Amino acid sequence: MRERGGWRRARRVGFEAACVGAGVVSAALLFAIVAATVWNGFDALSLEFLTSPSAGRPGEGGVLHQILGTIWMTAWAALIVSPLALACALVLELLADRKTARLLRVLLNALNAVPSILFGIFGYYLFVRFFGWGKSWLAGSILLAMMIAPTVTVSWADAMRAISAGYLETARGLGLSTGRVALAVVIPQSVHGLWRGLLLGLARAAGETAPILFTAVALNGVDALPRGIVDNPVLALPYHIFALSQDAYDPAAAAAAWGAAIVLFALVLAFFAASLPLRLRAHEEARR
């Protein structure tokens, strides 16, 4: 059933043109998104904006405290998620039998699909009401940590899997126990992959609004950094943008929102940029 060459050629050209067209539209959209954020953001950006706290009225003052609050909450999320994800990754790759590991992986993939707002209302019930913490930055950090735990775990397990088999055989051959193999070989040999996975998880955590909305953040009237846990919310960039967006008909609020948006964008970009060289190193780790 030979077709005519012309018809086949036309179909090929049509299909490829449709794909390239989609690619061009996507690229244009992506470019427009970045351009709009950068363009509007740079207008609002100044040294004063970055180094002064926000004032009482929406849109007045800077975002210094929001930057500090976001970094504070993200850093604690990193401290909380790291031991948990390490534990889960070691169980997945080293400790569990094959069946348990497969089940755990399926479970983690499912948990990764839990919408972030559910962390928000669960956190509201558990921390704000049940524990009586009121709004607390720690609740926010815990929720963000749990939200990224499945992703970080899976990427860490993959980083561990990439270690060459020779190392493990040697370690086993030297008579190391499973625990010592984990400490002396698996973790040090995959460390670049671990950093990369963590940074990508944190990039997501830093920009999330829904889990911290009712649990961890305030609009203003808060110290730069918390002095305790109970009733100690922080200011955060995503929530700041969220609140200002609702007043965006006011040009001052819109300008401040853009300024905060480009700062948040830069923060997320910094996490990505920091992870890029690690990707290459992780590849080298895998190839050795």
Partner 1 sequence: MQRVASVPAARPRDAVDLGVRAGAWLGVGLVLAFFLALVTFLVVQSLPAVRAGVGELVLGRHWHYPSRVFGSASMIFGTVAVTLIGTAFAAPLAFGTAVTISELLPRKLASVLRTAVELLAGVPSVVYGLLGVLYLVPLVQDAFGSPSGDTLLTGGLLLGVMILPTVASLSEGALRTVPAEAREAARALGLNRGETILHVVVRQARPGLVSALVLGVGRAAGETIAVFLVVGRADGRLPESAAEFPSALLRAGQTLTSKLGSSEVNIAYGSELHWGSLVALGLMLFLGVMTLHALGGFLRVLLERRDRAAFGRSGGNDA
| Stretch of 45-53, 202-210, 217-225, 280-288 lying at the interface with partner 1 (CB under 8 A) | 202-210
Q: Which is nearer to partner 1, 230 or 266 (CB)?
A: 266
Sole binder of partner 1 in the list 45, 78, 222, 261 (CB under 8 A) = 261
Sole binder of partner 1 in the list 210, 216, 222, 234 (CB under 8 A) = 210
Quote the least distance from Cβ 218 to partner 1, whole Å.
13
How many chain residues are in contact with partner 1, going by CB under 8 A? Answer: 99
Sole binder of partner 1 in the list 55, 79, 225, 269 (CB under 8 A) = 269
Residue 50: both structure tokens together: 């970055």
Q: Which residues, 7 to 66, sit near partner 1 by CB under 8 A?
A: 8-9, 11-16, 18-23, 25-27, 29-30, 33-34, 36-37, 40
Sole binder of partner 1 in the list 63, 73, 160, 222 (CB under 8 A) = 160
All residues at 6 or more sequence positions from 186 whose CB lies less than 8 Å from its CB, including other chains: 90, 93, 94, 160, 163, 168
Is 75 among the residues that bind partner 1 (CB under 8 A)? no
Sole binder of partner 1 in the list 44, 67, 144, 186 (CB under 8 A) = 186
Q: Which residues, 124 to 143, sit near partner 1 by CB under 8 A?
A: 124-126, 129
In 3D space, the residue among 260, 244, 241 whose CA is nearest the CA of residue 252 turns out to be 244
Is 174 among the residues that bind partner 1 (CB under 8 A)? no
Is 170 among the residues that bind partner 1 (CB under 8 A)? no
Sole binder of partner 1 in the list 51, 60, 246, 277 (CB under 8 A) = 246
Q: Which is nearer to partner 1, 84 or 229 (CB)?
A: 84
| Stretch of 46-54, 71-79, 92-100, 219-227 lying at the interface with partner 1 (CB under 8 A) | 92-100
Is 270 among the residues that bind partner 1 (CB under 8 A)? no
SS (H, E, C) the chain: CCCCHHHHHHHHHHHHHHHHHHHHHHHHHHHHHHHHHHHHHHHHCCHHHHHCCECCCCCCECCHHHHHHHHHHHHHHHHHHHHHHHHHHHHHHHHCCHHHHHHHHHHHHHHCCCCHHHHHHHHHHHHHHHCCCCCEHHHHHHHHHHHHHHHHHHHHHHHHHCCCHHHHHHHHHCCCCHHHHHHHHHHHHCHHHHHHHHHHHHHHHHHCCCCCCCCCECCCCCCCCCCCCCCECECCHHHHHHHHHCCCCCHHHHHHHHHHHHHHHHHHHHHHHHHHHHHHHHHHHHHC
Is 68 among the residues that bind partner 1 (CB under 8 A)? no
Q: Which is nearer to partner 1, 72 or 214 (CB)?
A: 214
Could you tell me how far CA 49 lies from the centroid of its own chain? 25
Q: Which is nearer to partner 1, 62 or 120 (CB)?
A: 120
